[in-house]
Chain A
Amino acid sequence: MVELETRIGSLRMRTPLIAVSGIFGIEYNRLSPGLPGVGAVVTKSVTLRPRSGNPEPRIVETPAGMLNSIGIQNPGVEGFLSEYIPELRLLEVPIIASVAGSNIEEYVKCSSLLAPRDEIDAIELNVSCPNVEEGGMEFGCDPVALSRLVTEVKQAVGSKTLIVKLTPNVTDIALPAQAAIDSGADAISLINTLRGMAIDLETWKPKLGNRVGGLSGQAIHPVAVYMVHRCYTACCQRNGVPVIGIGGVSRGEDALELILAGATCVGIGTAMFRDESVFEKVEKYLSKYISDLHDERGVESISDLVGRAAQT
């Protein structure tokens, strides 16, 4: 098999496949010991103080996807450090801690508590959650605010790799991407969920307790491909900042498409719900794809494929 080892900042991963935030839990390691195919995992977002999250129902399936509105339920950074960290040690893959907040101070405090921990290999700033009233997405939508946030968090996390996760709920995603890069982001990941809504035709009520939620799954894949392409061509390639492409990946072909659009790594989330072994399948597909193309086009690794769609 072709070696798929990938690096992002100081993060070294055995595959370019990342289990994304909000979906991954330690429980998957029990269902699928050793997490075959997984290169790194991103924790559910953690906030400075505990959050109980949004009212139920919190999910609803939609055509080729689903809406969720969990609302970042988490035990707060202290609970996270005392309860989750010991479990996360069990994993054989790097851990990326996802941080959310409602103001810069919260992000900075939370990040500075997490960054010094050896068990945490990188920090991902969630500036894109559509399901909390304040914070999160407002930074992702405002390049100026995002710039200040990333600058301050970058100082707080020191040498740890800093990833900024962007929202697709903007007019041009290249603007926040550029702001994040200029302010010191080591990588950007995109896309988070697209804001959406579903209504029950009998009761005339929204199907989600929070009325609106975030759309994920196969349905959003073309949006992700476009936005990865947009960021790659507009700023990431030029600045040498890797993109983690996320959105609707459920099979090898989808991952390859994001890589050709400009992604160095590929995140997988919603597809895990149906099949947690999706990582293994995608890994095998990519590996085979590269070895098959080796003689024909001289492709030797994933990096030879990144952004190739931009060059044609």
Chain B
Amino acid sequence: MRDTVCSGMFHVKHLLLKVLENRELCPEHYLITLQTPRGFKEPQPGQFFHVVCDPDGEKTLINGKERGYALTLRRPFSVHRVHYAGFDRRLLAAPSIASMGEIPRTSGRYEIRDIVHGENPPYPWKERPVSKIDILYKVVGEGTRSLSQVRPGKLLDVIGPIGNGFHIEPGRAGVIVAGGMGVAPLVALAEKLRYLGTETHIYVGMVSHMHLQSLLKNSPLEGRDVDGTELCGLIIREFKGIGAETVTVCTDDGSAGEKGFVTDTLEADMQAGVILGSDITIYACGPSEMMRKVSDLAHKYEAPCQVLMEERMACGIGACFSCTCNVRDKDGNVEKKRVCVDGPVFEAKEIVW
């Protein structure tokens, strides 16, 4: 039924990370930045941290005695962005990486030239020290509401990085399909693909333009009425800024970008041959219904597809079997796998929707 302590648990640590920033980007959407210690294991896109959202929860004072009704459970959050010491991410947009062609590979490591200092020989990718991580989240319940109240300077109790991240295939163009807050982990993926010199196409679907604002870290629109068209332009610039070849924005209400579901636009592009199933790998995260549709499209156009699953979690480390999903093995047998450590990224074709 399960492997021994599985790969999703290999580098998991219990850590206290300092909150550097925790700000509201647009109503209900927050970005929290955490400082990472020396020697911090680089989280892979798709991996998550299991977070105590109320660091002061147990210290509520009642009659002078500590007695809190703290949150019972941690909450899982995907890594939104990884920051590297001494690396200016604006350079991701520099043409030099894209024009590098084939990526040199040494002893299993993908390498890029250190374009920061123009150094040669190449700077080994995996040795670049992580300095900070970002988590993008939306307030949806008590846990996220508590997290939104945490002030900079606090230490946040986290377990991570947990789970199997996306299995990146640098030789195939990456097509990223994000729905709603599903965009959060996919930004880390887009950046990683770019570091690896992989052609990347991004499809983002949101309910309305208001939700798109969460993707702008330093919104020039702050303090004034938001115009959907202008916002859409800024989002596209933001993603182009991290090296995406094409960016397609859809909103359910048509207030920014194309009107309709992101899956319809994706289907149209695949049908028209704008992207070819044989050349790409699809990486998707979003509402279950969206991922199911993407999975169907991937199957139809014979593209490999990975989905990042979401489920309510308790332990987050594989012990409690709360966060299961139905997965079909090669022989067609369906079994319940744990999203936390058997996933959260699964091959789309394995999932029983």
Contact = CB atoms under 8 A, between A and B. Distances in A.
Contacts, number: 114
Given A31-B317, A57-B312, A70-B322, A87 B5 contact: yes
Contacts of A28: 317, 319
Given A31-B12, A31-B14, A56-B312, A61 B319 contact: no
Nearest to A65: B72
Classify chain B's interface size.
35 or more
A246 B73 CA distance: 18
Contact of A52 (B159, B311, B315, B336): B336
A75 B4 CA distance: 13
A220 to B, nearest CB: 11
Contacts of B32: none
A31 B319 CA distance: 11
B341 A56 contact: no
B73 A273 contact: yes
B70 interface: yes
Contacts of A251: 58
A26 B321 contact: no
Interface in B1-55: 1-2, 4-5, 9, 12-14, 52
A73 B322 CA distance: 10
A25 interface: yes
B152 to A, nearest CB: 23
B1 A274 contact: no
B325 interface: yes
Interface in A34-87: 44, 50, 52-53, 56-66, 68, 70, 73-75, 79, 83, 86-87
B9 A75 contact: no
Contacts of B313: 59
Nearest to B69: A64
Interface in B298-353: 311-325, 335-336, 341
Contacts of B292: none
B253 interface: no
Main secondary structure of the interface of B (DSSP, over half): loop
Given A28-B319, A52-B336, A70-B320, A217 B311 contact: no
Contacts of B13: 31
Contacts of B2: 75, 83
Contacts of B4: 26, 83, 86-87
Contact of A66 (B73, B311, B323, B341): B73
Contact of B324 (A58, A87, A250): A58
B321 A23 contact: no
Nearest to A217: B72
Contact of B317 (A25, A50, A68): A25
A270 B311 contact: no
Interface in B67-95: 69-74
A240 B93 CA distance: 74
B269 interface: no
Contacts of A31: 12-14, 159, 317
Given A30-B5, A75-B1, A273-B73, A58 B317 contact: no
Interface string B129-143: 000000000000011
Contact of B69 (A58, A66, A218, A277): A218
A52 B71 CA distance: 29
Nearest to A272: B315
Interface string A236-255: 00000000000000110000
A50 B1 contact: yes
A171 interface: no
Interface string A6-29: 000000000000000011111110
A62 B143 CA distance: 11
B314 A56 contact: no
Given A60-B312, A63-B69, A274 B320 contact: no
A243 B193 CA distance: 57
24 contacts: A24-B319, A25-B315, A25-B319, A25-B320, A26-B5, A27-B318, A28-B317, A31-B13, A31-B14, A52-B336, A53-B324, A56-B324, A56-B325, A57-B312, A58-B321, A58-B323, A58-B324, A61-B73, A61-B142, A68-B314, A273-B314, A274-B74, A276-B14, A277-B14
Interface of A: 22-28, 30-32, 44, 50, 52-53, 56-66, 68, 70, 73-75, 79, 83, 86-87, 217-218, 250-251, 270, 272-277
**List of 7 A-B pairs having minimum Cβ-Cβ separation, nearest first:** A25-B319, A75-B1, A27-B317, A59-B322, A64-B69, A27-B318, A57-B312
